[in-house]
Amino acid sequence: MEEEKKLYPLKFCSLQDDYPWGGETFVLADLGYRDSLVREGWLAGNSLSELMDTYLDRVVGDGVYEFYGRQFPLCVRLIRCRGRMPLRVHPDDETAAQRYDFLGKEKLWYVLRAGAGARLMAGFRRDTDASEVYAKCLDGSVEDILNVVAPHPGQALRIPAGTPHAAAGDVEILEIGESSPMDFCLCGWGEEVHPDEFDPALTLVDALDFIDYRQFQAKSAASGRTRPVAPGSTGDPVPGAELLVALPQLRVERIPLVAALQFSRELGPFLLYSCVRGAASLQLSLPGSAPSPGTSRPGGGSPLSDDRGLDVTLRAGETVLVPAEVASFALVPTERDTVLLESTVVPDDTDPYINPAAAPTLPDDD
């Protein structure tokens, strides 16, 4: 009998959407209307949703699969702002599940670059209420009451559910969040909003009862449950690593990759590595081979076809998915000052709102 093929670290083809204010690139997505395709290796051309349908817990891990079913739980997108993006807000998991049968959102914005006029808007600078927000969204003056931040490269901003947010000026952001299309458009600043950017059923009126109208308070990086070491480590903390978000539905850690790191772990959960500065190589040893971290393999063949080991290059702006069944690998910096974001989820119990067999659908437009 032919030996079952093992999954390997996966990079995906990006999907780009352009809008009048800039645009966004889906780096990794399983959203139905956006479904990333594997770029290389024997799984090339398969979508992320097809991988989940076929390989199930081998992709995400037992605990994650029990909680999320066949929905890959995270989405990574690159936001390129050159104007002023529409103001948006997302609901929490309970609200989204009860009303729309979707996941809600917890998301992290990580600033990659900030140029002229760059600013981030997140929450309100003072307490307000639904009537004031509604009126100011309609006349385009809502920025007057928003909390405005001058961004800088390397800045991480957690955006909780119910927090209106937008970017403006010249700024690039890596967004890591739950796999959900639940962004409600609150205000287009007097400009026509592109019809493909938001579902027309997700409106300002629908969002008024879950918006957080209190003065915005930046959430602690490690608010929520956390663990003393990285999910993929052998037991020791990663030197210099910083926990940015520690929630059951989203855990993100910033890792300055100053030297090679060897990871050895039990099966699961999945890990995402997003390169936000520099470049790195993810090296995976196959049975009978043990390439040492930092040592390049000889030969010039495809990085995913060599029978001695697998190397995956990871450049700034790219993300790689390490499936749950990949038990050991090494991260090796190939440029100075390399920084990676490691993302995963750590669910507690099976989600009563998620039906693993259900196909994702948006509500009908009445």
Domain ranges of the chain: 15-207
| Alpha-carbon gap, residue 265 to 106, rounded angstroms | 26
With CA atoms as reference, report the closest residue to 284 among 60, 41, 55, 1.
Answer: 41
Token pair 């670290």 in the structure block, residue: 9
pLDDT in tens, 200-231: 888 999 999 999 999 998 764 543 333 334 44
| Alpha-carbon gap, residue 122 to 104, rounded angstroms | 18
DSSP-derived pairing of the beta strands 242-247 and 146-149: unpaired
Least confident of 109-123, 181-195, 290-304: 290-304
CB burial readout 191-213, b (16+ within 10 A) else e: eebeeebbbeebebeebbebbeb
- pLDDT over 70 for what percent of the chain? 82
Give the H/E segment covering residue 65.
helix 62-68
pLDDT exceeds cutoff 90 at 288: no
pLDDT in tens, 227-260: 334 444 444 567 789 999 999 999 999 999 999 9
Give the H/E segment covering residue 168.
strand 165-168
pLDDT averaged over every residue in the chain: 85
pLDDT exceeds cutoff 80 at 178: yes
Token pair 């027309």 in the structure block, residue: 200
| Alpha-carbon gap, residue 49 to 55, rounded angstroms | 10
Q: Does domain 15-207 have CATH number 3.40.50.300?
A: no
Identify the residue with better confidence: 123 or 192: 123
| Alpha-carbon gap, residue 6 to 272, rounded angstroms | 18
Position 349 confidence tier, pLDDT thresholds 50, 70, 90: low
Distance of CA 221 to the CA centre of its chain: 16
| Alpha-carbon gap, residue 38 to 201, rounded angstroms | 31
